[in-house]
Amino acid sequence: MTTIANSGFTQSQLDQINGTSSSSSTQANLTSAEEIQNRFLKLLTTQIQAQDPLNPMDNSQMTSQMSQISMVSGLEKLNATLQSMMDSQASSQSMAATNVLGKKVLAAGNDINLQQSSAAGMLKLAGPADKISVDITDSSGNIVRSLSLPAAGSAGMVSYTWDGKDKNGNLLADGSYSVNVTASSSGTAVTATPLQGYLVSAVAFDTGKPQLLLSSGQRVSMSDVQLITE
């Protein structure tokens, strides 16, 4: 609650502005800056009409009090505007999440599916890298193949393919495998995130923000989606 300092008003008048009474233990809480402003202006008008012409009230203090009221009122309006913007953004996010239901999206994931001796994947680099490696592992965690990718001159997404063969050139069975990606630039590690395409099977709102339920079983937010492919 905003309290108005003494600027020539009587204690009774100040109590009315501040929402308190010196003769009672009951405190009336003001609900908004507008109510404070209305009371202040009403009492100010009364004070001006009744003031002694030979001893007028201090204009500088009056200006200071009015500035305080304007600041509180402005903050309330700013808060209301920000809340409206947040509500609008949340509504837009919910609509965007619903629109991708049933579509395929590109999101973080270290799985890769080998079908008909062919598989494709992507990774996201946080910066340029002169060395990029992709290790493919089976369900037991054994590395069955290591891929060396061309250098990347800038941050961004890099795609790669796998012919389904192990490090000895033997064709492996179709199925699900995992990948581990690493990257470096002049010996310094560069963050590399494996990406994979998933079908959006549902949209959940139980956390207060929309989350996509992917065919892999994981949950991701809209900000985690790198690409909507179809």
Find all residues with CB under 8 Å of 23, minimum gap 6, and list them.
none
Sign, CA dihedral 79-81-82-83, equals positive
CA distance 68 to 40: 11
- Which residue segment(s) compose the domain that 20 sits in? 11-97
Residues 156 and 188 in one domain: yes
Residues 204 and 117 in one domain: yes
Q: Which of 68, 97, 126 is the last residue of a domain?
A: 97
Residues 79 and 125 in one domain: no
pLDDT in tens, 23-62: 444 444 445 556 766 776 676 667 666 665 555 555 566 6
Looking at residue 85, its pLDDT comes to 67
Q: Which of 38, 73, 97 is the last residue of a domain?
A: 97
Amino acid in the structure at residue 227: L
How confident is residue 124, by pLDDT bands cut at 50, 70 and 90? Answer: very high
Residues 76 and 115 in one domain: no
CATH number at residue 211: 2.60.40.4070
Residue 217 lies in a domain: yes
pLDDT-wise least confident of 82-91, 148-157, 191-200, 216-225: 82-91
Sign, CA dihedral 47-48-50-56, equals positive
> Is 177:136 a contact under the CB 8 Å cutoff?
yes
pTM of the model: 0.56
CA distance 132 to 180: 11
Looking at residue 98, its pLDDT comes to 73
Extended strands (E) in the chain: 104-108, 111-114, 119-125, 131-137, 143-149, 156-162, 175-185, 188-190, 192-204, 211-214, 219-221, 227-228
> Is 177:120 a contact under the CB 8 Å cutoff?
no
CA distance 139 to 111: 11
Residues 112 and 93 in one domain: no
Residues 144 and 46 in one domain: no
Closest CA to 19 of 11, 28, 6, 31: 28
Residue 174 lies in a domain: yes
